[in-house]
Structure 1
C-alpha cells in the first residue's frame, strides 16, 4: 500500500494544488502551487482552518464536518490578503486518518494568475486552466496587436491630415489650411488682418543659381515670417513665392505696418547659399476684416492683393495698406 510520502510525491505531479490534512486538521503536506500562493508562510504543520476560511456550505465550520464530506465540494478563501477565492473537492484518505483537498481557482483564475505570477508550469498538464491561460494570452496578444495597429493607423491619419494642410517645402500652412482658417474666423465673427507678401527678384535667384537655391530662399523666408509672427497667427505659402499671414485679433494698422517693415528689412538681407549671395526683397499688402460689413474670404484676399500690387507699382520692397487705396478712391469690384 502507498505510504503518505509516496502519495504526496504523486499528488505534486498530478494535483499541484492539493492540501493533505490529518484527522485533527493539521496540514501534512501541500502541493507546490498552493504553497506558492503563500511563499513566506510554510503550510506544513499548520492548522488548515488557520490558513483557510470555509465559506460554503455554511454548515461546515469544523474539521470533522469537513472530513465527513467525502466527494463533497467546498468554497473557501484565505484569511489574509489577497483573499483569493478557491474551490475544493474532498477525498478522504483510505485509512480514515484525514483527507486530501484538491483546490482550484474557478472563475478567479485570471486574478490569481495576475496576483501570484502563475504560469502553465504551476498547473497539472491536463488542467483546463492551461487552455484558458493560453486563450487569455492569445487574446491579450491579439488585443495588443490591435491596439498597436490602431495607434499606427491613427498616427498615419494624423500625419495625412497634417500633410494635407502643410506646405512640404517650407513647413508652413498651405492654401487649403489658409482657406480653413479664414472660414473659421469669418464664421465666428473674429476680427483679423490678412497680409499678402510676395518675394521680389525670386525668379532671378532661380535662374542664376538653380532651383536648389530657390528652395533654400523659400525656406529661409518662411523661417523669418514665423519668427516675426505670434503662435496664434497663421503663415501660409499659397503659391511659388507668395505668402499670406493671418493675424487673429490684430487690426491695428500701425502695428501691422511695423511688422511689415521688419519683414521687408530682414528679407532684403542677402541669404548665402553655397557661398553665393541670394538677394531678394518683399512687397506686402494688408487688408482688415473690419473694413468690410460682411467679410468674405475672396473679397479680403482680393483687397490684400490689390494693396500688394500697389506696393510693387510704387517700387517694390514696400508695404501698402488697403485702407490707403480706399482713401484714394479705389474700390474692389465686390465692394462697389
Structure 2
C-alpha cells in the first residue's frame, strides 16, 4: 500500500491517504513504483502489458534508460518537488516516455516507514505509434487522459485525409483516362485526329522558335476496301491493328503516329530529317505492310501509298498548307502506281 502524508491548510493535523497499486493503476495506467534501491515494486496495468509481470522486483535500470531529469526533492519534504523525467525503453528504444517522479512515504517492512519513488509516465508524441505497436486500446488509458481523445481525432483526420487523397487519385486517374480516350483511336490505340492536330501545332511552334525541321507523312492503305468487301469488317479491323503495330514499331519515341481516318494514318518524324532518310523509312513501312496478314484462316493483303513533306526552317509554315502538300504528295504516289512514297519539301 502507498501512504501519502500532507499537512492540512491552516496547520492542522496531517491527513493520510492510502492507495493500493490497483487503485493507482486506475488513475495512472502507466505508473511506476520504485523502492529506494531502484527496484520495481509495482506498475500500472498498461506498463505491465508492455514490460510483463516478470519485471516486478527487478531493477529499474534493466528496463529503462534515464535520458533527462529536472527538479529535485528538498530535504525534509516527504513528497518532494516533482521531477520531470524522460526515459527510453531498453527493449523498444524507438519509444521515448516522459513523466513526473515524486518521492512518497510508504509503510516499510517491520512497521518502519520508507521513502520510495512514484513515477507517472506517458508516451507523449509517440502515442499513436505505441498504440499500434503494443496493441493498446482505450481501456489502457485513464478515463481523464485527453491524449487518447486527441489520438482518435488525429486518426479520424488521417482517415479522412487518406480517403480524400484516394478520391483525388481516382479522379485524376479518371481524368487521365478520359483525356487519353479523347486523344486516342479506340481500335488501334494510336493518337486520333485531335491529338495529331495538336501535335502538329506544337511542332510548328517549336520550329518557329528555332527548332529542328521535321517530316510530315500521310499514309493510305492500298487495297483495304477489297479486304473489307470480300472478307468482312472484322478482317479489315485486323489489318488496321496490324498496320498500327508496324507503324509504331518503325517509329521512334519522339515521333507521332495517328490514325486520322478509316485507313489513313499521319506521322510526324522528328530528329535529323532529309529526303533520303524519309524515302528509306517509307520503303521499310511499305515492305512490312505488304506482308500477308492471317485472319481466321484467310490471308489479307494490302500495301500502302505515302506522301511526305519535309518541313524546313523557313518562316511562314501553317498546318493547313502542310496538310495540303502531304495530300498532294500522297495522290502523286497513288497515281504513280501505289505502293510507293513521294517526297516534297516545304
Aligned match of 2:213 in 181, 191, 196?
191
- Cα distance in 2 for partners of 1:291, 1:300 equals 13
1:103 equivalent in structure 2: 120
Does the CA contact (< 8 Å) of 1:18 and 1:102 recur in 2? yes
Q: Please show how residues 55-94 of structure 1 align to structure 2 within 5 Å.
A: 55-57=69-71, 60=72, 68-69=79-80, 73-78=82-87, 81-82=93-94, 84-88=96-100, 90=102, 92-93=104-105
- Cα distance in 1 for partners of 2:73, 2:117 equals 17
Matched, 1:156 2:174: yes
1:274 equivalent in structure 2: 296
Which deviates further from its counterpart, 22-31 or 168-177? Answer: 22-31
Q: Please show how residues 108-127 of structure 1 align to structure 2 within 5 Å.
A: 108-110=125-127, 113=130, 117=134, 119-120=136-137, 121-127=139-145
How far is the alpha carbon of 1:106 from its aligned partner? 7.0
Q: Unmatched 5+ residue regions in structure 1?
A: 324-334
How far is the alpha carbon of 1:107 from its aligned partner? 4.3
Change (3 A) 1:100 1:123: farther
Which deviates further from its counterpart, 166-175 or 13-22? Answer: 13-22
Deviations, residues 136-174 of structure 1 (Å, cap 9, x unaligned): 322222222222222222222222222222112101111
- Cα distance in 2 for partners of 1:277, 1:223 equals 18
1:228 equivalent in structure 2: 250
1:18 equivalent in structure 2: 31
* Structure with greater strand share of residues: 2
- Cα distance in 1 for partners of 2:266, 2:326 equals 9
- Cα distance in 1 for partners of 2:288, 2:135 equals 68
1:256 equivalent in structure 2: 278
Does the CA contact (< 8 Å) of 2:306 and 2:341 recur in 1? yes
Q: Please show how residues 33-72 of structure 1 align to structure 2 within 5 Å.
A: 33-34=46-47, 42=55, 44-46=57-59, 51-52=65-66, 55-57=69-71, 60=72, 68-69=79-80
Change (3 A) 1:317 1:67: farther
1:28 equivalent in structure 2: 41
How far is the alpha carbon of 1:91 from its aligned partner? 7.7
1:237 equivalent in structure 2: 259
1:206 equivalent in structure 2: 228
How far is the alpha carbon of 1:104 from its aligned partner? 3.8
Matched, 1:133 2:157: no
How far is the alpha carbon of 1:288 from its aligned partner? 0.7
Aligned match of 1:169 in 165, 173, 187?
187
Q: Unmatched 5+ residue regions in structure 2?
A: 4-18, 108-112
Does the CA contact (< 8 Å) of 1:75 and 1:85 recur in 2? no
SS at match of 1:151: helix
Q: Aligned Cα RMSD in Å?
A: 3.4
- Cα distance in 2 for partners of 1:270, 1:25 equals 90
- Cα distance in 1 for partners of 2:133, 2:318 equals 67
Deviations, residues 9-67 of structure 1 (Å, cap 9, x unaligned): 3434443211223456543222243356667993644368x85455333xx168x6885
- Cα distance in 2 for partners of 1:291, 1:174 equals 27
Matched, 1:313 2:331: no
Q: TM-score, normalised by structure 2?
A: 0.78
How far is the alpha carbon of 1:265 from its aligned partner? 1.9
Does the CA contact (< 8 Å) of 2:39 and 2:60 recur in 1? yes
